[in-house]
A and B are shown apart, each in its own frame.
Chain A
Amino acid sequence: MNKVVGGIFTSHVPGIGGAIAKGLQQDPYWKPFFDGFLPIHDWLAREKPDVAVVFYNDHGLNFFLDKMPTFAIGAASEYRHEDEGWGIAFNKPYPGIPELSWHIIETVVANEFDPVTCQAMLVDHAVAVPYELCWPDAPEFTTKLVPIAINTVQHPLPSPKRCLELGRTVGHALASWQGPEKIVVMGTGGLSHQLEGKRAGFLNKEFDHFCMDNIGPNPEALLKYDSLDIVELAGSQGVEILNWLAARGAMQGKVVELEANYHVPISNTAAATMLFENREKVAA
């Protein structure tokens, strides 16, 4: 029985973490973005997922270029965020669920994926910011984390097709998990943005809307592009949509969009937040 109750997709701009640290949620610049999480808070309070499987990319906290895995799956009993160079460290730990992590690892390797497995792993703002956004008032985080990192930093990147297939295989693992846990999947990052070079500040709202319109009902529509096409269309960092594709793949059966919020700009980024329900399953 599939325990995936839904999917949350969100930008993870580090500046959002700074705004949270300064309490700027009602500030006119930030409010349109933060308001996108109000219905997600209600949904989370209703669904109370026990586990979050988070597809994200590390920006140089846990992984350096000395060893850069294409896919890495956390299998720790606890994860922490640390200072990434600008002095903000979220101090609440993220509890792990290593037995589910290993079940996912067993399943994806049996299906011919070759992830790096991490029993010790720091998670950066790409996990920390979504957790802070989803559970802003939690005295401690109780939703257990399975972090799955995808290389969106150093080319060659995995293809969109490969990322969607990884997600689908993780979805099979979640469907065959025998534990009682309710699970939410998350894809973080994007949408269009580019931080470096002469094209810094590049956005592509048309492509962002294409992604938002298709990620739920028709994620295959994104597969007509390879990763460098997406760099061209969405910017160097807009390629983080790969994390969204993987998370979408982990939802089986009927996927219903409940909420979507698109807001430009947050820092240099076209920010987006989406919530999908994944309750009705097709028969296996």
Chain B
Amino acid sequence: MNASPGAMSAAKRQIDGTEPFDGELAMRGYALNAMCFSFNQGENREAFARDEEGYMAKFGLSEQQKQAVRERDVLAMLDAGGNVYYLAKLAGIFGLNVQDLGALQTGVSLDEFKAALLAQGETQRRSAA
């Protein structure tokens, strides 16, 4: 078992279609994630819905982050350092759940995304009783 290289190391672990949320991304995404964390409170969700630009400015989002939010572009939000657990709170304001996000990120329809999961459907029970 090799030690995993840290965020600031030259050689990051490469995982297909996956970018582990590490220190580098946590720094890059701080403002965006801080805004999303505020959406735990309903009044903040309402404030964002009333004035998206003003709300994003209040949290100091970068232009890249703002543009990703304006375009509802989840992959761009991730690239701008967004963490999916926080982005899920933003998605909720847009009426999107994690399955909608999955479809958006993989470029398929929601029905196709759900069907792909159902195609792997399996139920296994075992009981000592």
Contact = CB atoms under 8 A, between A and B. Distances in A.
Do the two shown chains form a genuine complex with each other?
A: yes
Contact of B117 (A59, A236, A265): A265
Given A154-B22, A154-B26, A264 B105 contact: no
A198 B81 CA distance: 15
Interface stretch (A94-102, A164-172, A201-209): A201-209
Given A60-B86, A85-B88, A156 B22 contact: yes
A264 to B, nearest CB: 5
Interface string B14-26: 0111111111001
Given A39-B129, A65-B33, A228-B20, A200 B15 contact: no
B120 A265 contact: yes
A224 B88 CA distance: 32
A160 B117 CA distance: 28
B6 A264 contact: no
Given A85-B45, A226-B4, A236-B84, A259 B126 contact: yes
Interface string B47-83: 0000000000000000000000000001100100001
A87 B40 contact: no
A280 interface: no
Contacts of A47: none
Given A195-B102, A258-B128, A264 B4 contact: no
Nearest to A84: B40
A15 B92 CA distance: 12
B100 to A, nearest CB: 11
Nearest to A202: B17
A139 interface: no
A196 B127 contact: no
Contact of A200 (B90, B105, B127): B105
A260 interface: yes
Contacts, number: 164
Interface residues of A, number: 52
Interface residues of B, number: 60
A153 interface: yes
A232 interface: yes
B111 interface: no
A36 B129 CA distance: 13
A190 to B, nearest CB: 15
Interface string A216-230: 000000001111100
Contact of B40 (A15, A61, A268): A61
Contacts of A85: 36, 39-40, 45, 88-90, 92
B17 A228 contact: no
B4 A228 contact: yes
B118 A197 contact: no
Given A84-B40, A199-B16, A264 B117 contact: yes
25 contacts: A65-B26, A66-B34, A85-B89, A85-B92, A87-B42, A155-B23, A195-B88, A196-B74, A196-B105, A197-B19, A198-B75, A198-B105, A200-B102, A203-B120, A226-B3, A228-B15, A236-B20, A258-B127, A259-B128, A260-B124, A260-B125, A263-B122, A263-B123, A264-B117, A265-B121
